[in-house]
Amino acid sequence: MLERAGFRSPRAGFVANRLIADDLPSEHINPQGFAVAAQTIKTWPAYTPSPLHHLSGQAGRLGLGEVFYKDESARFGLGSFKALGGAYAVYALLREKLQLGDGSLLWTDQATRKAAKAITVCCATDGNHGRSVAWGAELFGANCVIFVHETVSQARCEAIAAFGAKVSRVKGNYDDSVREAQRQAEANCWHVVSDTSYQGYIDIPCKVMHGYGLMAQEICDQLAEAPSHVVVQAGVGALAASLCAYFWYRWGTKRPRFVLVEPMLADCYFQSISAGHPVAVTGSLQTIMAGLACGEASPIAWQILSRAADDACVVCEDDVREAMRSLHRGESSDPSVISGETGAAGLALLQASQAMPHLAQALGLDAHSRVLIIGSEGNTDPEIYRAIIHQPPQPRTDYLLEQLHALAQIGLQDDGACSRLALTDQDWMGRDWLVDVMKSLDLNVQIDQIGNLFGIFVGAEPELDPIMTGSHIDTVRTGGRYDGCLGVLAGLEIIRCMQAAGIKPDGPSSCAPSPMTRVHAMDLTCWVLLSLLKPWPSNKPFALWASTAHYSAKNSPGSAMQAHASPVTSKRKHSLNCIWNTGRFSSRRAVKLAWFKGFKGLKGLKAFPGKAWKSLVSLTMLVRPQYLWHSILI
């Protein structure tokens, strides 16, 4: 049984909450506050519940029972759930300051609106909360000043200014803008409307969180029964704590498992739950998930989540991009869903879990799981959204690292070496593992009479000649964990990359990345491998090792070894160059490399002196700089 303590990798991380309690403090966040907020917001002009999508296609793709997606992309026309919290807090503040018995006077009575004009509200924002506060100020007649930090996009600033707010940019990160908003409010007698609490500032953040509770009420009304899991974006914790508390009060002991998700570089809840106390994360907090670029947990939110959230997870940027594209594309019969970067974080975690069995096991995700994810925002920055949706497929080094590491655990020796001799139990365990990976990519898995294993990505014309790329996964102690496995798993990465881009091959030997172009599969292989090499400085040595063979559809898979043992000769001329390894890696002798240009066969090989290249770490040319801590000695 896998311990639920925690782990972290370049792709995703998990930590179990050891502080779970049997009750929640109700002093600040409680059912009465949720009820008052819901009753109020439902009276506002243009209120309508946001939709809850049943994504059966995503569930099938991810090996889950059901996936539900709460779509906040059209909430009050603002593009995010924040419309519920910030605007409600502005309403509550103005009603208190103007001593109004009837809050509707704020949008129906001109004298009341004139009085509200003398009040200025302000806040710090990554974009969405500030837009909600600005909208609420315009709706109810107040003045508004919004503070943004230096990495908030211009499009998000313009969206805020469109509601008549003044936008002020602050140097530093989100937490710096929070402090500047408070300083300016004290100096100018403004009123801060923040979704994060701090010492002496509790009431308004509680109003914000009670406003978010209306989303939870809608979810409960839209679901016939409680889901098994809820995955919610963390940020400062206001949304997550609001939903967590509402579900706690509504479903009691039948409440779902509650999972927090954050970016890798803005992971204050992951760090805090790991440590058992609040931890502030410093630095730029730069992430495409702008709404989650927060380094400090809100104390009121922490009070709830530290006692009631089951797990905290982090996801990488690339999984978020792929989740956005998958939602936009619509899997199987799913509708096309517009999700911004922050909104796709929950699906990104499910994608990572599907590819990382130990993460799925830690989260308790399986074919019976009914998972609710929160689409917290839509297309809040059209330029960024278009750039991500239309981005061509990119190979994922973190995928390769995860898979290579997982395979290396089979046959792992006490000294860290890896041994899976052919036809041993370890070799068969490795092959069984590989079959599972191939099946997760929906490949047609075949094993011939002499034991060769094939994962076939079938195209529209199966009779076309296929391209076979790969190598072997058996290895000896001095061969290293990357040995032939890199050739096999890099080939699977090519297929995963095509699938993520929605590319359906015409046949096993060709694919069509766009309606205008037909690209030979070996071109794609060359492109993927060189894309993986790209982050490594051009003046450093590279080394790749993989074997390729080409076989005809007329031949059985078992004849491939005898049919073509030499490298593939492509019918196209390649302008790209690849490095081909002709020797075996060793930390005790030089690595002999050769220059293999254009897949033109053995005539393209030229000897390369290798006497100076000792102790070469084989994967360094594949990893991005931030992943270099994965040092592997061969």
CA distances 178 to 56, 171, 198, 208, 210, Å, are 40, 11, 10, 16, 21
The single residue of 71, 126, 175, 483 carrying the catalytic annotation is: 126
CA nearest to 346, candidates 105, 78, 1, 53: 53
**What residues pair up with 123 in beta bridges, in sequence order?**
146
Give DSSP secondary structure letters for 521-578: HHHHHHHHHHHHHTTS-TTS------EEE---TTS-GGGHHHH--SPP--SSPPSSEE
Question: How many angstroms separate the most distant Cα atoms in the chain?
Answer: 90
Residue written as token pair 């992309």: 73
- Give the strand pairing for 370-375 and 229-233: parallel
The single residue of 82, 175, 195, 483 carrying the catalytic annotation is: 82
The answer to whether the CB of 451 falls within 8 A of the CB of 439 is: no
CA distance 289 to 466: 40
Annotation marks residue 126 as catalytic: yes
CA nearest to 619, candidates 602, 631, 629: 631
What is the helix, strand, coil percentage profile of the chain, to 5? 40, 15, 45
CA distance 125 to 147: 6
Annotation marks residue 614 as catalytic: no
- What count of residues does the chain have? 634
> Which tokens hold the place of 64?
């889950």
Consecutive H or E run containing 490:
helix 485-500
CA distance 510 to 527: 14
Residue written as token pair 């706690």: 248
**DSSP SS3 for 150:** coil
CA distance 336 to 343: 14
State the angle between helix axes of 485-500 and 425-440 in degrees (0 to 180), rounded to the nearest 10: 10
> Which tokens hold the place of 547?
């074997």
CA distance 499 to 253: 40
The answer to whether the CB of 304 falls within 8 A of the CB of 239 is: no
**What residues pair up with 578 in beta bridges, in sequence order?**
596
CA nearest to 134, candidates 63, 83, 95, 181: 83
CA distance 182 to 549: 66
Task: For residue 447, give every residue at least 6 positions away whose Cβ sits within 8 Å of its Cβ, in sequence order, or none.
Answer: 453, 454
CA distance 160 to 154: 10
- How many Å from the N-terminal Cα to the C-terminal Cα in the chain? 30
The answer to whether the CB of 285 falls within 8 A of the CB of 293 is: yes
Residue written as token pair 């109020």: 40
- Give the strand pairing for 468-470 and 547-549: antiparallel
Type of residue found at 162: A
CA distance 484 to 548: 11
Which residues are known catalytic residues?
82, 126
